[in-house]
Amino acid sequence: MDFAIKMTDVRKDYGTFSLKDFSLEIPRGYVTGLIGSNGAGKSTMMKCITGAVIMDSGNVEMGNGMILKDFGVVFDECPFPQYIDCLHLSTIFGKMFDGWDQRRYLELLSKYGIDQRKKVKDLSRGMSMKLQIAVAFSHPTRFLMLDEPTAGMDPASRDEFLDDLREYMQDEDHTILISSHITTDLEKVADYIVFINGGEMMVQDEKDRFTETYGIVRHAGECPLDRELILSVRHHAHGSDYLVGDKAGVREAYPELVVDDACLEDIMVMIARGSEA
């Protein structure tokens, strides 16, 4: 399977935080979701890909002749000139991007309920995200890089946005990298999931494999499981939680144990706040 982006041993040291030997392949034609707590390194990683942040060492390769001009980017804070209104903003993009579709841009503004005459600074958080999305969809792209795009959006808007992403993915040359805290969004739209913690790539797999095969064993007392099965453990006052990668297998081997289904959020919290067995 060919990749859209390949990161190899990327390092970036900020003093208090660093990205360590980060290697990742983002497959072309699929949606890859990035999950990690604040400060885990998601934004840094994304900026290393585009070169907004200069890596200390390592390599970023783009597959299939893709270049930065093919990127559509959405950041957690709106990067557009604050004192320009949404309509005149498009003049900048018209000059910046080849194939800018002004008609589509205006349609999207209308669809997202953004007033053309409003200045960027006067938009609410959710509205400014939608503005960035409208811009990203209004010029031909092959790669969408979305950093927390749905934060601040109401559920109906989020649903609409996910529909728009699915429409974008009908072209199999398109790839999306989306980081989000709203794990339910990723459950709905992602094909692959990458968990990041403390600047390191923890695990990458098909999204369905996480939701269908990972589980959490809840048990009080001594650890009942074979150490090798445990990915992460959290201790509470009244017992412990063990994250396992094969819940069906564990249920069969240990029929007496309580094995819960794990959603992406559960897995993320176990990775972020748990410890190795």
Partner 1 sequence: MNALLWKDLYSTRGTLAIMLVIAILFSWCLGNGGPMSFFIGSAMASTVVGTCMNLDEKAGWHRFAISSGIRRRDILNSKCIMAVLAPSIGIIAGFIALGLGALDGPLVIDVLGCACVIVFGLCFGIFTSMAMIYCCYRLSSNYAGLFAAIIIGASVGLLVGLNEALGQVIADGAWVFVAISAILLALAVAFYLLAYRVLLRKDF
Partner 2 sequence: MELIISNSSSRPIYEQITEQIKGHILSGRLKAGDPLPSMRALAQDLKISVITTKRAYNDLEAEGFITTVTGKGCYVSATEPSLLRENNLKIAEEHILKAVELAKQSEISLEELQEIVKILYEGE
Note the residues at the interface with partner 2 (CB under 8 A).
30-31, 162, 166-167, 169-170, 172, 188-192, 206-208, 212
CB-CB contact of 150 with 179 (8 Å): no
Segment interacting with partner 1, rule: CB under 8 A, options 76-84, 110-118, 164-172, 181-189: 76-84
- Largest interatomic CA distance in the chain: 66
214 binds, among partner 2, partner 1, none (CB under 5 to 8 A by kind): none
Dihedrals phi, psi of 23, to nearest 5 degrees:
-125, 130
In the sheet where 71-74 sits, what is the strand order? 71-74, 143-147, 175-179, 31-35, 192-197, 200-206
CA count, 13 A, side-chain hemisphere, 87: 5
Residue with smaller CB distance to partner 2, 101 or 205: 205
Residue with smaller CB distance to partner 1, 49 or 230: 49
Residue with smaller CB distance to partner 2, 6 or 188: 188
Residues 6+ apart with CB under 8 A from 269: none
Residue with smaller CB distance to partner 1, 24 or 55: 55
Query: From CA 274, how far away is CA 266, in angstroms rounded?
Result: 11
Residue 88 contacts partner 1 per CB under 8 A: yes
> DSSP assignment, residue 56?
S
45-64 footprint of partner 1 as x/- string (CB under 8 A): --x--xxxxx----------
Q: Which parts of the chain fold into alpha helices (H)?
A: 42-50, 86-96, 102-111, 125-137, 155-168, 183-189, 207-213, 247-253, 264-273
Residue 91 contacts partner 1 per CB under 8 A: yes
110 binds, among partner 2, partner 1, none (CB under 5 to 8 A by kind): none
Residue with smaller CB distance to partner 2, 16 or 170: 170
Distance of closest approach, residue 192 Cβ to partner 2, in angstroms: 8
Q: Would you tell me which residues interact with partner 1 (CB under 8 A)?
A: 47, 50-54, 67-71, 73, 75, 77-84, 88, 91-97, 120, 145
